[in-house]
Chains A and B, each alone.
Chain A
Amino acid sequence: MIADWSHEIVLAATILSWFIIGAGLAQTTIYLLQLIFAGYALSKRPPVARSALLWHRYGDVAPPIALLVPAYNEALNVVESVHSMLALEYPNFEVVVINDGSKDDTLQRLIEAFKLTKFHRPYEEALAHMPIRGLYSSPMTERLFVVDKENGGKADAQNAGINVCRAPLFCVIDGDSILEPDALMRAAQPFIDDPERTIAVGGTIRIANGSKIEAGRVREIHLPRRLLPLFQVVEYLRAFLMARLAWSSINTLMLVSGAFGMFRRAEVVAVGGFTKGSMGEDLDLVIKLHRHMRDTRRKYRIQFIPEPVCWTEAPETLSVLARQRSRWQRGALECFFRYRAMLFNPRYGRVGFLGFGHILIVDVLGPVAEVLGYILIPAFWLLGILSAEYLLAFTALIFTYGVCVSVCSLILEEAELQRFPRARDLAVLTAAAVIENFGYRQLNNFWRVKGWWQYLRGNQGWGEMTRTGLGGVKK
């Protein structure tokens, strides 16, 4: 009887271990394939070094763009951010700042800095959102509009901006982010090269912590001085240069970051805009766009291009980072389960199989399997239930392949883009790419499992995002 029972324990432990190792293996295979696709995509489309050339080439045919900037309690940085956005190098654009019922004096700061006056502008109420209290224009520049509305969250503010803007393309950006001067011109390139099929384009988000920032511009690029944002630099490299570029090359890109993404207005209006109250409103929108275009059987492209850069501030404390990662996890789960009918549905082709398959393996199963593995695989080995082979395989999948994938992302960056200015930066990042697999990765997975738990309990709060401010002031 006891022997039967122990046999069943061993069988259960072996099955569980196979599940954990299988999930890790699937995840690693996906990453390695992404590296190959991303490398191929980068070699096929090398970047244009000088932005002056882009202006010379595309300046006359660049389509109008509306830059939508939702702002909630951004009084500290909003004026400087708007100044820097108005100075972007693009022939035809307007900046639409949406004050989402800020409790501080965000609106007042804007009114004073740009001498804003109330303005009537007819617009189509194509998307639902909280009531608009007033529109403002500036006598100092025709390019600036401010929408003052009642608080409804980021997605609601973006929807109001989409309604008010008139350009065929709009670009969403966070109020506290900084766009490189040529970012719009670079991001607009796919809309110029293939205007009929391109419906959304995402660019790279880079971490500004540690860099020298003056007058809303990144003047000198430096690596963060603290370890936590430094690890995030490597993470962002993996996420953008490897994952998004790879999926984009096979038109299966599932996420255009809400911190910097360009969209064709007509298609976004057709899918109902951003989903209000969503934890991952950017992922949600891109999935809706895929679904809409596939349902209507139209040819389309949702692209990621690495050259346009938006700088953002990364969390520097564990508590803030933990909240951010748990929220991202809830966003991924929410979208996965909301659109689960698309998973492995032949109607949605590679989006259903590869895109949703990726979310299933990496976001839904991945963190749970990995955290279970941290606990169970060493325990099973110590109890003599599993052989050392299993332990080594799991260690390989978590640590050594992790190092390989992170370092390979850095190789892609250095071989094709060379955006880190000094050789010393590369050495530091290589060390970070190795070290982050021992502790930081595990911590991240615990936060993601926490996100799973919060999702199951129906916790929909965003949590407070304490930022130091790119200018260095606490807010």
Chain B
Amino acid sequence: MWMIWDLSLLLSALSLLIMLFLIARRVLQERSDNAAADQRRQLLTALIAFTENRDREALKAVVLGVPASVAIHAGFEFISLLRGEERNEVLVAFHECGLPALVGRLLERGNVAERIHAAEMLAALGSEDATASLLAALDHDRSRDVRIAAAIALCDLGSLPLLGTALDKIGVAGQRSRRLIDLFRRFPRSRFNELAVHASRADAVPFVRAAAIDALARTGGFGFADFFAGLARNDSPEVAAAALRALGLTGHGAAPAILAVAMTNADWDVRTAAADAAGRLGLSELAAPLSMLMDDEFWTVRYAAANALRSLGNPGERLLREMAGSEVSRSQRTASLVLAEGPAA
């Protein structure tokens, strides 16, 4: 019993002491924060002046005169507002002041949030050493979020290793992040084949395969239509749905047949994607299978089918009206709801 009492006194006293120390630290920090705010203002003023007078030496003097952390963060914020020649000239000044090396050090030694931000800054600063630092982070950083940020930065710098290698380094756990979609969308056209190869790998994570297909559909265009058509019958519902969405964007000679089959798929996500694609491509020959989907057990599928019929124009609308006027059923209710959608009369 005495131990409970003694320990409680010790822990309470200790916690109060730590808190007092933190309050004292905060008092000092408030002063240094004011100084940092002044220095930040000074740097931003110098950067604005530089965009007018291009006096690089004056800018360098100010950059070197403020603490590294102020220079890094205010500098990055500023260059993200610039484009073209102006940006390049500011970057030259930053390079001459050694900012990329400081950011590289932050990538090695900062906490997770700082390391992710450092990877983004290195991509913007784009020095020779940046690639090496980012590759090292992709290779052995403990946090998968930092590894993903490093991969995206490397992609922006045009130095991302082969996709398979990069994904291996990111690790399986990281291959569920939507940030990979961002990575794939940044892929240069010259490396689209890597995305295609990965999307067709049966052993790859379905989420990653689907993300690769979505990225190809957005940026790759018609060149991959055959590829999408091939994947539309994939065993993985996630991959098949992504391929069908892609087909909806690119179109394909065999699309009606492929979509008709997909509309009978066991997975509701695949059926929804097929209905969406049929509507987007305006395939009026699919009106009959779309009408069948109006009785689907899943609302999402029924709604997608109804919208697809609506987008077919008059023939589709006529079918919807017929259904809306028929006996009460799932398809009748869906048809009348979709026909009524919009401002009330």
List residues of chain A with CB under 8 Å of any chain B CB: 21, 25, 43-49, 52-53, 56-58, 60-61, 63, 117-124, 126, 134, 137, 191-197, 389-390, 392-393, 395-397, 400-401, 403-404, 407-408, 410-411, 414-415, 418, 422-423, 426-427, 430, 434
Q: A118-B343, A389-B1, A407-B15 are in contact. Are A45 and B112 (CB under 8 A)?
A: yes
- Are A122 and B15 in contact, with the CB atoms below 8 A? no
Cβ of B344 and Cβ of A404 under 8 Å apart?
A: no
Asked if B34 is at the interface of the complex by the 8 Å CB criterion, the answer is no
Contact A192 B8 (CB under 8 A): no
Max chain B Cβ within 10 angstroms of own Cβ: one of A191, A196, A390: A196
CA distance in complex: A21, B5 (Å): 12
Contact B15 A63, beta carbon cutoff 8 Å: no
Q: Are B344 and A426 in contact (CB under 8 A)?
A: no
Asked whether A121 and B341 contact (CB < 8 A) given A44-B112, A47-B113, A407-B19, the answer is yes
* 4 interchain residue pairs of minimum CB distance: A124-B299, A122-B337, A396-B8, A118-B344
Majority SS at the chain A contact face: helix
Does B12 contact A401, Cβ atoms closer than 8 Å? yes
Nearest chain A CB to B254 CB, angstrom units: 31
27 contacts across the A-B interface (CB closer than 8 A):
A57-B120, A57-B149, A60-B182, A117-B343, A117-B344, A119-B343, A122-B306, A122-B334, A124-B299, A193-B178, A193-B179, A194-B177, A195-B177, A389-B1, A393-B1, A396-B5, A400-B9, A400-B12, A401-B8, A404-B14, A411-B18, A414-B26, A423-B26, A426-B19, A426-B22, A426-B26, A430-B20
Residue B338 lies at the interface, judged by CB distance under 8 Å to chain A? yes
Partner of B344, one of A57, A120, A122: A120
CA distance A192 to B26 in the complex (A): 34
- In the complex, the answer to whether B178 meets A122 with C-beta atoms within 8 Å is no
Q: Write out the residue numbers on chain B whose beta carbons fall within 8 Å of the beta carbon of A118.
A: 343-344
Tell me the bound Cα distance from A194 to B85 in angstroms: 39
Flag whether B56 is at the interface (Cβ < 8 A): no
Which residue on B lies nearest to A197, using beta carbons? B176
* Shortest CB distance A66–B (Å): 15
Check A61–B181 contact: CB distance below 8 A: yes
A21 neighbours in B (Cβ, 8 Å): 1, 4
Question: Which residue from B15, B111, B178, B182 sits with its C-beta under 8 Å from A195?
Answer: B178
Determine the chain A residues whose CB is within 8 A of the CB of B257 once the complex forms. Answer: none
A18 vs B117: C-alpha distance when bound (angstroms) = 53
B328 is an interface residue with CB less than 8 A from chain A: no
Cβ–Cβ < 8 Å partners of B112 in chain A: 44-46
Nearest Cβ in chain B — how far from A133, in angstroms?
Answer: 12
Among B8, B14, B23, B338, point to the contact of A423 (Cβ < 8 A).
B23
CB-nearest residue of chain B relative to A409?
Answer: B15
Question: Across the interface, do A415 and B22 meet the contact criterion of CB distance under 8 Å?
Answer: yes
Residue of B nearest to A423 (CB): B26
CB neighbours of B22 from chain A (8 A): 411, 414-415, 426
Q: Looking across the interface, which residue of chain A has its beta carbon closest to that of B23?
A: A426
Instruction: Check A122 against B343 for contact (C-beta < 8 Å).
Output: no
Tell me whether A427 and B23 are in contact (CB under 8 A).
Answer: yes
Cα A49 to Cα B33 in complex, Å, equals 14
Partner of A404, one of B15, B23, B26, B181: B15
Which chain A positions have C-beta within 8 A of B80?
56
Interfacial residues of chain B within 47-98, with CB under 8 A of chain A in the complex = 77, 80
**Distance between B178 CB and nearest chain A CB, rounded to angstroms:** 4
> CA of A214 to CA of B314 in the docked complex: distance in angstroms?
52
- Cα separation A49 to B181 with both chains bound (whole Å): 24
CB proximity of B301 to chain A, nearest CB, Å: 11
- Check A403/B12 contact, CB under 8 A, given A25-B4, A430-B19: yes
Residues B343 and A401 in contact, CB atoms below 8 Å apart: no
- Contact status of A194 and B16, CB under 8 A, knowing A45-B112, A46-B112, A393-B5: no
B317: min CB distance to chain A, Å:
15
**CB within 8 Å for A192 and B344 given contacts A46-B112, A414-B26:** no
Contact of B178 among A43, A192, A407, A418 (CB under 8 A): A192
- The reply to whether the CB of B11 lies closer than 8 angstroms to some CB of chain A is yes
User: Is the CB of B342 closer than 8 A to any CB of chain A?
Assistant: yes
B185 within 8 A of A: yes
Additional pairs, 10, CB under 8 Å, beyond known A52-B77, A57-B149: A46-B111, A47-B113, A48-B113, A58-B179, A117-B343, A119-B343, A126-B299, A196-B176, A396-B7, A400-B9
A137 pairs with B343, CB closer than 8 A: yes
CA distance A393 to B8 in the complex (A): 9
Quote the shortest CB–CB distance from B340 to chain A (angstroms): 4
Chain B 296-340, CB within 8 Å of chain A: the 1/0 string?
000110010010000000000000000000000000001001101
Q: B235 at the A/B interface (Cβ < 8 Å)?
A: no
Contact A392 B15 (CB under 8 A): no
Whole-angstrom distance between the alpha carbons of A118 and B345 in the complex?
8
**Chain A, residue nearest B4 (CB):** A393
Question: Taking the nearest CB of chain A, how far is it from the CB of B218, in angstroms?
Answer: 11
How far does the Cβ of B153 sit from chain A's closest Cβ, in whole Å? 11
Contact in complex: A193, B8 (CB < 8 Å) = no
CA distance A176 to B343 in the complex (A): 29
With beta carbons under 8 angstroms apart, the residue of B1, B16, B207 that contacts A390 is B1
Cβ–Cβ contact A120 & B15, under 8 A: no
Q: Which residues of B contact A123 (CB under 8 A)?
A: 337
CB distance from B33 to the nearest CB of A (A): 10
The one of A58, A117, A390, A411 that contacts B15, using a Cβ cutoff of 8 Å: A411
Evaluate contact between B111 and A404: CB separation under 8 angstroms. Answer: no
Residues of A within 8 A of B117 (CB): 48, 53
**B30 lies within 8 A of chain A by Cβ:** yes
